Amino acid sequence: MNELLESLGVQPRNSGACTGSWIQTSGPELVSHNPADGEPIAAVTQAMAADYEAVVAAAERAFATWRMMPAPQRGEVIRQLGEELRANKEPLGKLVTMECGKIYSEGLGEVQEMIDICDFAVGLSRQLYGLTMHSERASHRMYEQWHPLGPVGIISAFNFPVAVWAWNAAIAAVCGNSMIWKPSPKTPLTAVAVQQICNKVMERNGLEGLFSLVIGDNDEIGERMIADRRLPLISATGSCRMGRRVGTVVAERMGRSLLELGGNNALIVMDDANLDLALRGVLFGAVGTAGQRCTTTRRLFLQKGIAADFTAKLVKAYGQVRIGDPLDENTLMGPLIDEGSVQMMLDAVAKVREQGGEVLCGGNRVDRPGHYVEPTIVKTTHDLPMVKEETFAPLLYVIEFETLDEVMKHHNDVPQGLSSAIFTDSLITAETFLSHRGSDCGIANVNIGTSGAEIGGAFGGEKETGGGRESGSDAWRLYMRRQTNTINWGTELPLAQGVKFDL
């Protein structure tokens, strides 16, 4: 383990703030534990207000020079970041697994996602297009330009400890912003490792303060950050509760927030579906990452004709899920992040039982060191109060339905709106699901599960999921400000709408 940490520049005790140079932080010590066995991995001395001030000052200085660099040259720096990530894919993937408990292939997948978004951002650095418009006034030209915003605050959740930072940072960087990252206090070491990688790239390019890190608690650092007028954009990923707070504080100061919050994702299986495909889709969606993805399948709607048979097959498949050490390549489901999450899952199962849900399998803690639970299936109806909530654990509600109209109503009847999926071989059913009469989510899939998005699309959800979009497509616009320019190259000064104002 020590060799792995050393290769990534993670010490037994690390500073909690960095601008390219590490700051000697003096806050309380934060020890990061491996959720697979509860053992400590290494510690971080958290940042305090003065450390935060040093980080923001460096990010402001970096912004002043970075924004002057042509965007394709900024892209070249991100290309180098992608190369460094490629070189460190295995150790960083392993550290992701050790610190947040997802299985090794998903740890590697997370680093691959960082590499992919860097590649995407390099191309984007030559495509930050604005429109030109025809002016209604003679000899006038109108067009729009996109300018960087300033230092961007990135707040990330524990379950994607490095990829979510990269979705934001790679895109925000080619747009000309500097970045300050506050990672989850549950996964500080992966953030330290990524900062070390950024430091190499910054040093090679004579940069300081472009990518900065500040690890600290929500009151000392988080609240300071979201209220800080020097950060025009706060991109925050996490629970709806956190997003409501961040959104309110940032709006109060007329800042911009990009919110990526909780989901309560449903998968619908129609009678005419390819059931083998559906079963695999449900299994990865509901059990993968131990139910700790924002896009995890939490509600499974089964049409009446296939419901009993499909449920029986699913229960059987749940019994075969190999639970254990996430670094073991045979393992399919690792631990939850911590003891708090185990308790939350057990409480949720108890409440579901109280409300009338029938537990078909699972529902218990797994008797071994670490924070393991059994993947759980509950048979219920859509109106059970717990079904409306996101329980961030492998807890799946199975609900039977008869018609497409009925299931669409129930599907959309939750506060969250992140990901959704339908399995069907009917074109009409598939298109109805994707239409304005269908899913109200930011992501809607056909014959694919709810989780495992690619970076090329804009990622995010509606309603209490926060409305933000990150990663691909034109999500870059959220990291820039639009300026509309009109140039008069004639000798008259005509006014728009034919207004006359002559002496």
Residues within the interface to ligand NAD (CB under 6 A): 155-160, 164, 182, 184-185, 218, 222-223, 226, 237-239, 242, 245-246, 260-263, 294, 390, 392, 418, 461, 465
CB of 492 to ligand NAD, least distance (A): 52
Catalytic: 339?
Answer: no
Nearer to ligand NAD, 61 or 230 (CB): 230
For residues 17 and 47, the answer to whether their CB atoms sit within 8 Å is yes
Nearer to ligand NAD, 125 or 420 (CB): 420
CB of 260 to ligand NAD, least distance (A): 3
DSSP 286-351: HHGGGG-STT-EEEEEEEHHHHHHHHHHHHHHHHT--BS-TTSTT-SB---SSHHHHHHHHHHHHH
Q: Which of 415, 424, 373, 418 is nearest to 396 (CA)?
A: 373
Nearer to ligand NAD, 223 or 272 (CB): 223
Which DSSP state fits 218? I
Tokens of 100: 């947040």
Q: Given 18, 175, 294, 441, which residue is catalytic?
A: 294
CA-CA distance, 92 to 87, in Å (whole number)? Answer: 10
Q: Which of 338, 289, 167 is nearest to 236 (CA)?
A: 167
Q: Using alpha carbons only, give the angle 285, 289, 295 rounded to the nearest 5 degrees.
A: 45
CB of 299 to ligand NAD, least distance (A): 14
CB of 459 to ligand NAD, least distance (A): 6
Query: What is the separation of C-alpha 25 from the centre of its chain, rounded to a whole number of angstroms?
Result: 28
Catalytic: 294?
Answer: yes
Residue with tokens 């429109």: 131
CA-CA distance, 187 to 161, in Å (whole number)? Answer: 6
Nearer to ligand NAD, 429 or 465 (CB): 465
CB of 266 to ligand NAD, least distance (A): 14
Q: Which of 23, 27, 15, 19 is nearest to 56 (CA)?
A: 19
Nearer to ligand NAD, 289 or 432 (CB): 289
Q: Given 260, 374, 464, 470, which residue is catalytic?
A: 260
- Residues with a known catalytic role: 260, 294
